[in-house]
Amino acid sequence: MRHFHSISIGNVNLDGNLFLAPMAGYTDRAYRSLCLEKGASLAYTEMVSAEGLARNNEPTKDLAVRADNEKNLAVQLFGPDEDTIARSIDVVMKFNPQLLDINCGCPVPKVTRTGAGSALMKNPKTIGKMVSVLVKETGVPVTVKIRTGWDCSSMNYLECAEQAFDSGAAAVCMHARTKTQLYTPTAHWEYLTDLKKHFPDKVIIGSGDLFTAEDALAMFEQTGVDAVSFARGAIGNPFIFEETRALLEKGSYEEPSTEEKISALLIHLHRLCGLIGENRACREMRKHVSQYLKGVAGSVKVKRITSQAVTIGEYTEALNLLEY
Ligand SMILES: Cc1cc2nc3c(=O)[nH]c(=O)nc-3n(C[C@H](O)[C@H](O)[C@H](O)COP(=O)(O)O)c2cc1C
């Protein structure tokens, strides 16, 4: 079976099925644009507060802006109910998204306390109502991101997916963990297999523990999902998309050289500077550096220096210390 293939989500036709997952604090448009260049077929925004949009909050709106090379803008919204989502529609539609996603997976207490994120797994009917209002009022394909349930004693992903699809969702992405499992232990891919089995004709996107191209191949093989969504495995590693495509199509791939890693890091940094200014970008970038330089000899010193760096010059100087 060919695992890499084009895919349609509603009326959106994508060249491939390797996605960048939504990640708060990471999938800003600087990083999305880099991942798209490196082979991501679709890149979700960070989660965007529907309430913030409804209130016309400028920093919130900034999260929904399209990257220069982003043909298909997929904005992930979070909110507690259909009314909040409905109030955000006029504002989010100004950004002309091709796809809208509803976050039903965020475990952060600040979010779940309001009834949003993974708290929605406790209210499958509300998920359906949120999908309905978006589908009806926007005409844009709607995807829904769920977990397997709130906890191990309430695994209701089938019910949540059913509500989503019955209300017109074009795809469901499942992070194969419960809310209480947060990001460990190992994701339970068998529930992705089960989800796909129950909805064989629907688009199912798999998420959870995709750290390498081999992981993605294994997820396709074991679960039958239609697309995979890289999250932590893509942090500081935009190469994972090309690697996965090569593995799926040719059976092998080449790892990036140190030079390529440094070049990607610097492109990322320059784009971030363009978005938020040099000082802030250099601070923001620190959290990405160790992932970019994973496995690179001599990177400890570079990480130490960049952990204080506030200019592109300081980054470049530190990176010049690497011998390759
Ligand atoms: C730092 C971080 C931020 C995240 N932010 C979001 C988010 O905004 N919306 C969302 O639906 N999931 C979010 N996630 C969850 C990921 O999209 C993904 O489902 C999860 O990390 C499982 O994949 P992984 O095990 O391959 O990392 C986030 C995960 C991480 C690590």
Domain boundaries, the chain: 7-250, 258-320
pLDDT at site 253: 97
pLDDT at site 85: 98
Please tell me the distance from the alpha carbon of residue 40 to that of residue 135, in angstroms, as a whole number.
25
Ligand 1 contacts (CB < 6 A) are 21-26, 46-47, 76, 103, 105-106, 145, 175, 183, 187, 207-210, 231-233
In contact, 30 and 70? CB cutoff 8 Å: no
Of the candidates 109, 33, 113, the residue with the CA atom closest to the CA atom of residue 67: 33
Distance (Å) from CA 21 to ligand 1 centroid: 7
Please tell me the distance from the alpha carbon of residue 208 to that of residue 186, in angstroms, as a whole number.
8
Distance (Å) from CA 22 to ligand 1 centroid: 6
7-250 belongs to which homologous superfamily?
Answer: Aldolase class I (3.20.20.70)
Distance (Å) from CA 278 to ligand 1 centroid: 26
Pocket test for ligand 1, best of 175, 214, 230 (most atoms within 8 A of CB): 175
Would residue 106 show up in a list of annotated catalytic residues for this protein?
Answer: yes
Those residues with Cβ within 8 angstroms of residue 89's Cβ, 6 or more apart along the chain or in another chain: 133, 134, 137, 138
**What's the gap between Cα 178 and its chain centre?**
18
pLDDT at site 99: 98
pLDDT at site 323: 80
In contact, 85 and 113? CB cutoff 8 Å: no
Per-residue pLDDT 10s for the chain (324 aa) are 799 999 999 999 999 999 999 999 999 999 999 999 999 999 999 999 999 999 999 999 999 999 999 999 999 999 999 999 999 999 999 999 999 999 999 999 999 999 999 999 999 999 999 999 999 999 999 999 999 999 999 999 999 999 999 999 999 999 999 999 999 889 999 999 999 999 999 999 999 999 999 999 999 999 999 999 999 999 999 999 999 999 999 999 999 999 999 999 999 999 999 999 999 999 999 999 999 999 899 899 999 999 999 999 999 999 999 987
Please tell me the distance from the alpha carbon of residue 227 to that of residue 177, in angstroms, as a whole number.
17
pLDDT at site 324: 78
Q: Running DSSP on this structure, what letter comes out for residue 233?
A: G
pLDDT at site 172: 98
Please tell me the distance from the alpha carbon of residue 71 to that of residue 30, in angstroms, as a whole number.
14
**What's the gap between Cα 151 and its chain centre?**
22
Four-CA torsion 75, 292, 147, 117, nearest 10 degrees: -50
Four-CA torsion 235, 117, 49, 96, nearest 10 degrees: 70
Alpha helices in 41-155 (DSSP H): 50-54, 58-62, 82-93, 109-112, 124-138
pLDDT at site 293: 96
Nearest residue (CA) to ligand 1, atom 6: 23
How far is residue 63 from each of residues 112, 155, 287, measured CA to CA in Å? 20, 31, 19
Instruction: Work out the end-to-end distance of the chain between its first and last CA atoms, rounded to an integer number of angstroms.
Output: 39
Nearest residue (CA) to ligand 1, atom 31: 232
Nearest residue (CA) to ligand 1, atom 22: 208
258-320, CATH topology level? 1.10.1200
pLDDT at site 117: 98
Q: How many CB atoms lie within 10 A of CB 161?
A: 22
Please tell me the distance from the alpha carbon of residue 201 to that of residue 196, in angstroms, as a whole number.
8
Those residues with Cβ within 8 angstroms of residue 127's Cβ, 6 or more apart along the chain or in another chain: 102, 104, 120, 144, 146, 160, 163, 164, 167
